[in-house]
Structure 1
């Protein structure tokens, strides 16, 4: 059974049907034109004999010939392989007929009709298609009126020849076109079948499969897009695995530490005077786990479009001062300073306070992670018209140019090459999404050995 649901079959049948219908329409038009031309030729031939008979009968009347002599003169032109001519007098009686062809004699009704008007019509005589033309004529100097009836009786043979002229080229064309259509349909659908096979492999998790692109048309462009998609999926899969590994590590490390502290507290290994210190460590590890979970959940909600912002006027300077105080313990542990410029000028912006704080904390954590002992993180606020530009700058090793375009991607871990430290790779992705919700752009500039600066703008309160 033919699988009509495949694209190859649909293309093959569609093209074949178009050619079949086109050739059928051509055949019908050809038959119609053939029919008209054939009957026009018959009428021209009738007119020729009609005038000739008039002349011959007129000559016979002038010479005073008898009916037998007139018949001997006219009879040789009355019979032909494809037609016969019958002449009737004004009473409807047969005046002259071709010898031996009485079987094609027309009906008396046609003769009577032709006495008053011109007749041309098709008929069936002795099982054969025929075409009859009849008209009356008179001879000058003779009061009698005659009817000349011409019967074309070889139409079957004519139409059979015409049918063969159409049918044989039709069969040859259909066969030849079918082969070409089959080849073209195979050529068009082969890349699609390969892409389907590759897509099935991608669905099973094998992202190494690629398709061969051999054309630059729409299918070739689809192949390029498919390969690009496979590359992206492969890259995403690698980042996902790294993300799971990093999250697992970041969860396991604090949980392992807390378990060790709890066991030590339970069995009395930790002295009473040091317990507060270990309680503080456990609290910090717990906050680290909570932050990791919150970042992961926020990223999922941002990607799903489930987070909406509520912009409102607030004091950005005070917010930055408060964040600096919250980060002071971490800054002191690494020996890193933080500087806000200007520090004493209250600048009000219109934005979602909580989401901007989340973005700023992520940017400062990122800067802190890549800053060394004795370096300073600078936060610069710069007004430009009705906008406020926020610059977060560190003095770390910088980011290689090739990695700058990837730092906003989910799970991207380019920072490992800078410090060797692991992270989830979602902090900057969250920052990017928050800025997009505020319809503003965040940019990054970095020079190796000089540090990195992140910049975004927020509208000032009017």
Structure 2
């Protein structure tokens, strides 16, 4: 069998959450970079347009009639700082025909002496300056120098797009922010994953202890997460239940061994006495008779055990047939009463007011009723009473078997349908394996019904068999 490499729950959650976090941060970074580039470019173009307009208005305010526009170069340089770029933009002052009159560029690639008049007369003030190549796009911002409706010249600013979009500081800040978020997210994920995986790891460790037979496990009791709390609480309940069942199994195994060993020892002793001639004549016959009775009891217990195991393995068939309820129950109770010594016990059957049809297995139902009646007989004492009452409710036949015996102790009532369980009042009084009620419940379930303990107290016990009635 191929070995599967498994990783811890903490590592599994942490690595996948971190991978998801990194992927999310990458997407956020890409979107943020695109947004920053677009926003910075738009903002710097707006600032450049504002500076150009401010220069145009300043020049127009000092313009003399019949003179060309002009401005001090120091004024041009003082505007560079507003753009916050490594390289200042090229600023030009031209006349109305586009001839450059003043500029802050004495040399370099942007040392121009003329701008095309058709370019200056375009409607938009922010344009892409034609350079003849797509590799280095240059933005052109122009504002007219206008006095009383007459254009005397132009303020023109040129700057490459890569310089306008230079956002080194912004990228540095974004990188610090992303890295900080990544580290903080990783730490938060690790702490949360550890918090969630710790109780699960403790449950896994406790499962190993139970596998080794140690049921005294310790698990955290104060857990805020509802699902984890439910897991821990359910596991602790399961561990306690397993511990109880293990103790019960050991006790029941000892009880079954004792119940089977007692008749064997009795039979062996009786037969040995007959063989050795210790008893003779009528007394020997009595010893043989007792031995046969003990053999029959032991055979019945073994048959009960085999039949129970066969039924739980679905090896016993169920033959369903139609029967009249009142007639069927009257016959069952009558047959049971014939074979019993009921001198001091009253048995009463109350049938349905209107007879109904039931679809059931006669033999299996009789096994249930006989077992309940036998239990009731063992429970009652002198002047005891057993009542069998038939009622109908929601298309169900309710067969109520009630006695006025000592009842079942409260602590034992939840265990009466556990296989091999025998109560303290019964285990020393009546020989058996504790399979009667569990087997009867299995039979009732096989008949599409159920067997329940309705109530039990010091005044008696009531069991109810529920079976579906035929429609119509």
Measured after TM superposition, the shift of residue 215 of structure 1 is: 2.2
Name the structure 2 match of 1:105: 110
Q: Among residues 446, 455, 458, which one is paired with 1:445 in the alignment? A: 455
1:193 aligns to 2:201 (yes or no): yes
Structure 1 residues 404, 249: closer, same or farther in 2, change over 3 A? same
Between the aligned partners of 1:427 and 1:44, the Cα distance in structure 2 is 94
Name the structure 2 match of 1:318: 331
Q: Among residues 63, 66, 69, which one is paired with 1:63 in the alignment? A: 66
Between the aligned partners of 2:173 and 2:155, the Cα distance in structure 1 is 37
Q: Is the partner of 2:465 in helix, strand or coil? A: strand
Whether the 8 Å CA contact 1:247–1:424 is kept in 2: the answer is yes
Measured after TM superposition, the shift of residue 192 of structure 1 is: 0.9
Q: Among residues 169, 184, 191, which one is paired with 2:177 in the alignment? A: 169
Between the aligned partners of 1:453 and 1:190, the Cα distance in structure 2 is 48
Structure 1 residues 59, 423: closer, same or farther in 2, change over 3 A? same
Structure 1 residues 169, 408: closer, same or farther in 2, change over 3 A? same
Between the aligned partners of 1:270 and 1:104, the Cα distance in structure 2 is 138
Q: How does 1:267-286 map to 2 (within 5 A)?
A: 269=278, 271=280, 273=282, 277-286=286-295
Cα distance per residue 1:235-260 (max 9 Å; x no partner):
22222222211111111122233334
Over the aligned positions, Cα root-mean-square deviation in angstroms equals: 4.5
Whether the 8 Å CA contact 1:392–1:454 is kept in 2: the answer is yes
How many residues are aligned here?
A: 443
Between the aligned partners of 1:309 and 1:215, the Cα distance in structure 2 is 50
Q: Is the partner of 1:103 in helix, strand or coil? A: coil
Structure 1 residues 303, 38: closer, same or farther in 2, change over 3 A? same
**What is the TM-score with the length of structure 2 in the denominator?**
0.75
Q: Is the partner of 2:239 in helix, strand or coil? A: helix
Measured after TM superposition, the shift of residue 98 of structure 1 is: 1.9
Between the aligned partners of 1:277 and 1:247, the Cα distance in structure 2 is 27
Name the structure 2 match of 1:132: 139
**What is the TM-score with the length of structure 1 in the denominator?**
0.76
Cα distance per residue 1:360-408 (max 9 Å; x no partner):
2322332343344x44453434455886654434443222334333323
Measured after TM superposition, the shift of residue 266 of structure 1 is: 5.0
Structure 1 residues 176, 442: closer, same or farther in 2, change over 3 A? closer
Structure 1 residues 11, 114: closer, same or farther in 2, change over 3 A? farther
Name the structure 2 match of 1:229: 238
Between the aligned partners of 1:265 and 1:346, the Cα distance in structure 2 is 59
Between the aligned partners of 1:123 and 1:77, the Cα distance in structure 2 is 27
Whether the 8 Å CA contact 1:54–1:137 is kept in 2: the answer is yes
Structure 1 residues 85, 451: closer, same or farther in 2, change over 3 A? closer
Whether the 8 Å CA contact 2:105–2:111 is kept in 1: the answer is no
Between the aligned partners of 2:120 and 2:160, the Cα distance in structure 1 is 20
Name the structure 2 match of 1:182: 190
Measured after TM superposition, the shift of residue 197 of structure 1 is: 0.8
Between the aligned partners of 2:431 and 2:276, the Cα distance in structure 1 is 33
Measured after TM superposition, the shift of residue 347 of structure 1 is: 7.5
Unmatched segments (≥5 aa) in structure 2? none
Measured after TM superposition, the shift of residue 162 of structure 1 is: 0.3
Structure 1 residues 371, 165: closer, same or farther in 2, change over 3 A? same
Between the aligned partners of 1:49 and 1:89, the Cα distance in structure 2 is 18
Whether the 8 Å CA contact 2:49–2:141 is kept in 1: the answer is no
Name the structure 2 match of 1:33: 35
Between the aligned partners of 1:121 and 1:201, the Cα distance in structure 2 is 77
Q: Is the partner of 1:313 in helix, strand or coil? A: strand
Between the aligned partners of 2:354 and 2:56, the Cα distance in structure 1 is 122
1:151 aligns to 2:159 (yes or no): yes
Q: How does 1:58-457 map to 2 (within 5 A)?
A: 62-65=65-68, 73=71, 75-79=73-77, 80=80, 82=85, 83-87=88-92, 96-100=102-106, 102-105=107-110, 114=119, 120=127, 132-133=139-140, 148-151=156-159, 155=163, 158-216=166-224, 217-264=226-273, 266=275, 269=278, 271=280, 273=282, 277-301=286-310, 303=312, 309-314=318-323, 315-325=328-338, 327-328=339-340, 331=341, 337=345, 339-341=347-349, 350=358, 351-372=360-381, 374-376=382-384, 378-384=386-392, 389-416=398-425, 423-437=432-446, 438-448=448-458, 450-457=459-466
